[in-house]
Amino acid sequence: MMEILTGNELTTGATVYLDKAGHWVEDLQAARLFAKEEAEARDAAIAASKATGHIISLEIETVNVVDGLIVPVRLRERIRASGPTVPVFERQHLSEDAHVSI
């Protein structure tokens, strides 16, 4: 099991994930995976993200990697990653000025 960081972008409310380059992006599959022993790096990323003031409801989520795909353990997170299931709606997208990096 690994961990990822997720939150919502301030201006759009869109669900976002921290990627390897330190950008907060919409794609779950681009999320940076933190191993157990990377807690320090993870916590530093959380602190840096909080400092931007633009990522809210920031959470650590546990995931599995199944056939190369990141699959959150919690159903809640799988729904956050895909959008409402019925009727199916596209997720909220980031607007041009809503890209956040650390």
Partner 1 sequence: MYRYDEFDASFVRGRTAQFADQVKRRISGELSEDQFRPLRLMNGLYLQLHAYMLRIAVPYGTLNSRQLRKLAYIARTYDRGYGHFTTRQNIQFNWPKLKDVPEILEHLASVEMHSIQTSGNCIRNITTDQFAGAAADEIIDPRPVAEILRQWSSLHPEFSYLPRKFKIAMSGAPSDRAAIRFHDIGLQAATNAAGEIGWEVWVGGGMGRTPMVAKMINGYVPHEHLLAYLESILRVYNRYGRRDNKFKARIKILVHEEGLETIKGQVEAEFAEIRGGVLTLPQEELDRISAYFAPPPFETLPATRIDVAREKILDAAYGDWLENNINSHREPGYASVTVSLKPIGKPPGDATAEQMEVVADLAEHYSFDELRVTHEQNLVLPHVKISDLRAVYDALVAAGLADGNAGLITDIICCPGLDYCALANARSIPISQSISQRFAKQERQKQIGELKIKISGCINACGHHHVGHIGILGVEKKGGELYQITLGGDATENASVGKILGPGFEAEAVPDAIERLVDFYIERRESPEEPFIAAVRRLGEAPFKEALYGNG
Give me the residues paired with residue 69 across strands.
66
Window 69-98: residues binding partner 1 (CB under 8 A):
73-76, 79-80, 83-87, 89, 91-92, 95
DSSP three-state, residue 49: helix
Measured torsion, CA atoms of residues 82, 88, 90, 91, in degrees rounded to the nearest 10: -50
Distance of CA 48 to the CA centre of its chain: 14
Is residue 53 a contact residue for partner 1 (CB under 8 A)?
yes
DSSP three-state, residue 41: helix
- Please identify which residue in 10, 26, 30, 48 interacts with partner 1, judged by CB under 8 A: 10
- Please identify which residue in 13, 33, 65, 99 interacts with partner 1, judged by CB under 8 A: 13
Is residue 8 a contact residue for partner 1 (CB under 8 A)?
yes
State which amino acid sits at residue 91. Answer: R
Provide the minimum distance between the beta carbon of 85 and partner 1 in the complex, in angstroms, as a whole number.
6
Positions touching partner 1 (CB under 8 A) are 8, 10-15, 53, 56-57, 73-76, 79-80, 83-87, 89, 91-92, 95
